[in-house]
A = this chain, B = another copy of it.
């Protein structure tokens, strides 16, 4: 029986879940995979956490050096989060000849080029399925299933916190701050929710996934980002009337014009498979030139779903003699030959607050037309809003981001004080 020793760095939610899965399933893994996988060490400053999980005191390490020099440790699991000291610890483990399994999307997205170089140099494994979308098998699908495709688009709901908040707002009509509070009460949102609600977390994941999908480094800094803090119940309600559902989408497209990568609130048709991904569920919808459409759906976060991805990587690492690395040129910066498109192609939803007088609509439509924007639908509400203004909703056909920006400026300036754009939301089609 092959002995495989694991060390876990950090016993928070995911580390605790991983410890629990490994210890409870030890006998099954012995039988099914011929590997005796044991947790030989943990690194956790809060000793009480480790003891509460049942970790024997003798296995609570006091430093990363102690773990690196422990000959019984083969695989180091890093589930601390944050860039430092996680990165320093992971590099130390790789240099000590340990394979690494990580769920740390921020660190991996920012430093994968360095980590992979060191892992290759030391001929050890570096696995990161748990960095993206919890237990959903998306990274291995890109590496080992869909790798014969030219992937043309990858669209995901990759953040559970924001999906919970938007589902809540959509279901009950709650406003953003109420829904955020509810998410915090249930443990779906952190006390400081910035990384989730401002879309940073989604950009880290999109950076990793789109780099794999498009075979070229997509730094997260190249990703257009817009969070959900400005989303209003009114827009969600108007979208519903139009047959749309509002989601924070992470969108990667590989088009003839170049690569488009963006994270923003997006209206999506209610009958699109992604529209029924609710609450803290996540999904990634991938389109390839031969596979057509594939959707991978499941729990995007949580102790055991993310633990499942980590343990999957541990068993993979323990049962494969040969390690494989990313199938793209993993560099610090994007390749000079990669062209990024900022002038996105999209349809748009525009809500305008206007005074209820003749000629407003014709002025607006003339501005849109002058900017080359073709209108798919206009709704002028009868009911005035609390300011005495009338909401006008415009949905455009596919056009360019720059045209929309110009049209919004023109409406705000050219129509004087009797009409102003309240919100612009991209529509995914």
Binds B, one of A320-328, A354-362, A388-396: A320-328
Kindly identify which residue among B129, B140, B320 contacts A324, using a CB–CB cutoff of 8 Å: B320
Residues of B within 8 A of A315 (CB): 147-148
Stretch from A27-35, A332-340, A402-410 contacting the other chain: A27-35
CB of B137 within 8 A of CB of A146, answer: yes
User: Which residues of B are found within 8 Å of A29, using beta-carbon distances?
Assistant: 148
Q: Which of A289, A294, A327 has the most CB of B within 10 A?
A: A294
**What is the distance, in angstroms, from A303's C-beta to the closest C-beta of chain B?**
9
| Chain B positions within 8 Å of A295 at CB level | 295-298
Question: When the two chains form the complex, which single residue of B135, B312, B319 contacts A292, counting CB atoms closer than 8 Å?
Answer: B135
Residues of B within 8 A of A314 (CB): 148
Q: Does A260 contact B (CB under 8 A)?
A: no
Report whether over half of chain A's contact residues are helix, strand or loop; otherwise say mixed. mixed
Q: Is A291 an interface residue (CB 8 A)?
A: yes
Chain B contacts for A28, CB-based, 8 A: 150
Q: Is the CB of A299 within 8 A of B304?
A: no
Size band of the A side of the interface?
Answer: 35 or more
Query: Can you name the residue of chain B whose Cβ is closest to the Cβ of A275?
Result: B276
- Is B290 a contact of A304 with CB atoms below 8 Å? yes
Which A residues from 305 to 353 make CB contacts under 8 A with B?
305, 307-309, 311-312, 314-316, 319-322, 324, 327-328
- Bound CA–CA A17/B288 (angstroms): 14
Enumerate A105-162 residues with CB–CB distance to B below 8 Å: 129, 135-137, 140-141, 144-150
Please state if A148 and B320 are interface contacts (CB–CB under 8 Å): no
Q: Mask for A348-391, Cβ within 8 A of B = 1, else 0?
A: 00000000000000000000000000000000000000000000
A178 close to B (CB within 8 Å): no
- B324 close to A147 (CB less than 8 A): no
Contacting residue for A25 out of B148, B292, B298, B305, CB 8 A: B148
Q: How far is the CA of A298 from the CA of B319 in the complex (A)?
A: 29
Of A129, A308, A322, which is in contact with the most chain B CB atoms at under 10 Å from its CB?
A308
